[in-house]
Amino acid sequence: MKKALLKLVIVLAALVYCAGALAQVAAPATNQAPSSRPSGSFSPHDLNGLWMTASGLTAGQQLVDPNAHPPFTPWGQMRFDMSFPSLGPRDVAGKENDPILRCDPDGVPKILGSPHPFEIFMLPDRMLQIFEKHHDWREIWTDGRGLPKDPPELTWNGYSVGKWEGDTFVVDSVGFNDVPWLDYYGDPHSDEMRLTEYYKRVDANTLSISVTIDDPKAYKSVWVGKPHLFTLKPKWALQEYYCINEELNSYDRDIRIPSGVDGGKPNTKADTAKDGKN
């Protein structure tokens, strides 16, 4: 009896050992610790991680150059003339009407150039972008679907699909509403904009993003942006950052009212929205 029990214990121990060994053999390489990779190595098709614009905490470093935009169409010129940015030579204290001043989302590509980090998660059927600013998020489909010919609704971040072309991840997007600006300087876009983004892993710590804007309603030709670099921040975490009404009230109290705009009367949220639609 004792010999039978001893034999059973030995057999069970062998089975457990073999199962563990098989599990180690079958485990995919992606489950290995990052430290197992040689220093400086990376996969060009791996965009996962938390990224921060390489220009640092300097506002206004955008993916489109406001000094190099194509000629406006009449519609584009009208919308540009209606904008009063918070940066640059067209800034009029107290009259700024960037949609973000009423807590509207930045939209893309503007939020990509914001001096705040964002995180990329690559899933089997999509890529997710989570932005620290206003805790915005975006979904880019990679399951082979195409862009809708007639988007069911117009949204802040549009409808996006992505695919690999060599080592460049190309994202095409349509279906944007026309509220956000393209940059901090008041350059508009319409609901006809088609945005193309190009993501390329330059090295282990650097990501390059460039954009092309095709918006015949706002511009007379295609707007091609230069590559913008982002740095991997593996030890960072996204922080809480929301746009709240108290911030708007502080702006009215500290800037808009003292400037004497609108006769020195407070500019309400409704007034700000009206300014953006005149």
CA nearest neighbour of 225 among 188, 191, 183, 184: 183
Residue ranges, the chain, pLDDT below 50: 1-36, 58-60, 263-278
Task: Give the per-residue pLDDT at 15.
Answer: 39
> What's the whole-model pTM score?
0.77
Task: Give the per-residue pLDDT at 228.
Answer: 93
User: Given CA atoms 113, 114, 117, 121 in this order, what sign does their dihedral have?
Assistant: negative
**DSSP states along 142-197:** -SS----SS-SS-BSS-EEEEEEETTEEEEEEE-B-S-S-SSTT-----TT-EEEE
HSE (CB half, 13 Å, CA atoms) of 133?
Answer: 20
Task: Give the per-residue pLDDT at 92.
Answer: 87
The alpha-carbon radius of gyration of the chain (Å, integer) is: 25
Task: Give the per-residue pLDDT at 238.
Answer: 97
Location of structure tokens 């971040």? 157
Task: Give the per-residue pLDDT at 260.
Answer: 62
In angstroms, the Cα distances linking 8 to 1, 15, 16, 21 are 11, 11, 12, 20
Task: Give the per-residue pLDDT at 87.
Answer: 84
Residue ranges of domains in the chain = 49-232
